[in-house]
Amino acid sequence: MHSLHEERIRQLLKNVLLDMSNLFVSADKSKLVACAEAIKALIFPFRYEMVYVPILPKVLVDRVETPFVYMLGVERSVFEKNDVGS
């Protein structure tokens, strides 16, 4: 089961280590959590200290537009319905 391509993983690691925001989008909630947790595990011995919400509730989807650094997971249906990130 492959969720992310190698280049995408390298870019995510770079973003995390440079304190940049990351947004995961998937139709499968378990993949959202698995991918976010995998990225956190790959940066060991460092720890992710920014805002981390692997499955963002629908009512908080507007928080994606905020200026803080985060790692968030959003269900694809919520992402498309609310036109998040545009």
> What are the phi and psi torsion angles at 56 (to 5°)?
-75, 125
Of 3.40.50.360, 1.10.15.40, 3.40.50.11500, 2.60.40.10, the CATH number of 6-82 is 3.40.50.11500
Which whole number is the average pLDDT over 57-85? 82
- Read off the pLDDT of residues 5-16 as tens digits, 9 standing for 90 and up: 888 888 889 999
- Read off the pLDDT of residues 15-38 as tens digits, 9 standing for 90 and up: 999 999 988 888 988 888 988 898
| Closest to 51 in 3D by CA, of 34, 71, 32 | 71
pLDDT value for 55:
92
Domain limits, the chain: 6-82
pLDDT value for 77:
85
The radius of gyration computed from the CA coordinates of the chain, to the nearest angstrom, equals: 12
Task: Kindly state the DSSP code that residue 45 receives in the 8-state scheme.
Answer: T
